[in-house]
Structure 1
Amino acid sequence: MLGLLPGIEVVATAADGEEAVAQVERHRPDAVLMDLHMPRLDGTGATRVLAREHPGVAVVVLTTYVDDASVLAALRAGACSYLTKDADRADIAAALRAAHGGFAVLDPRVRGALLAAAGPAPDPPPFPDPAPAPAPEGPRPDGLTAREAEVLALVARGLSNREIGAALFLSNNTVKTHINRIFAKTGCRDRVAVVHYARQHGLGGPVP
């Protein structure tokens, strides 16, 4: 279905998560359309492996499951976008292109599940100057994109995901996606390690 659309080439298909990881290793695609519930290795596990080993590959989830647990697990694993299987091929193609460009696309029902899981949002606390830190000149470490470098610098300044989104005019889910990719590219396990990494590379002030 997608192979008939202009500008999209389907390079491989996979029957389960383990095969999906192997096909990505073999073909190095720009994006992967991932189901969630599969034998051997499920889609969430495969997405987690891809985020760690192939952070440049964008993962778009396409599934029948819209419960908040499935959505949150997939996004935390590193998925860029989340669609349900009633999406048509134009929607899927648009999501793949957007994910490859670094943007997140969420099905409206998925957004509703996330909002329901989050509950009422508290008033945002005041935070430091929201102006984003300038991206460093020259090559960036570990293949970070300019946007990821901006997000990394703001993490190092102590801003929360919500505050980073406000500073860069990004959705909270897009910020999470960038941070997941930063973790994968830098090998950091938590925000403390990310802050230290940023300071080591001149993105968050001097190392204390």
Structure 2
Amino acid sequence: MRYGQFCPVAKATELLGERWTFLIVRELLMGGRRFSELQRGLGEISPALLTARLKMFEEQGLVVRRQIPGQRGFEYFPTQACEALLPVIVALGEWGLLWARQTLSADDFDPEFLMFYLERSVDPAALPGGKQSSSSVSLTSRTNANGGLSSRAKRPSSAWSTRAATSTCGSTPQFEPCMMFGWAIAHTARRSTAATW
């Protein structure tokens, strides 16, 4: 897409204005490297479209594609240009929390997606009182009697498990706190592992 304008906003939009682009950037900045990881974080994107977007990202200098040693697949690493979009993604998320809440519907609420973000965003070893291995907390989710999300870790003694269970959703099905909690984890945990909840 070309706008034909001598304007940095127009030129940036030519690169970033296609559907799914900001979400792919989000996934790359959250640590997704393999095609399957990116696709899992994006949900309904078709493999063909994700392939096309990653190829465009590579051509435009947003990612570097590297062969996985000893395997057929590739990994995608964000370049400095892609990493410079982090404040844009965070600002877009904060704008969405403030101005797009009214567009949330029951179809947008996905406990598995929330758990996916929790699993890859939280380093249990960095949590208060946590001397756990960073790969040892496994999360499960279930719907409570009122339709709201209940989450629990397989290690209920950890401080994070208790807080996560009480912070995601209460006894009523309210989607807003879940979205806020997921987003807070997604960008706060990346900035500071010493964050308190």
TM-score (norm 1): 0.30
Greater C-alpha radius of gyration: 2
TM-score (norm 2): 0.31
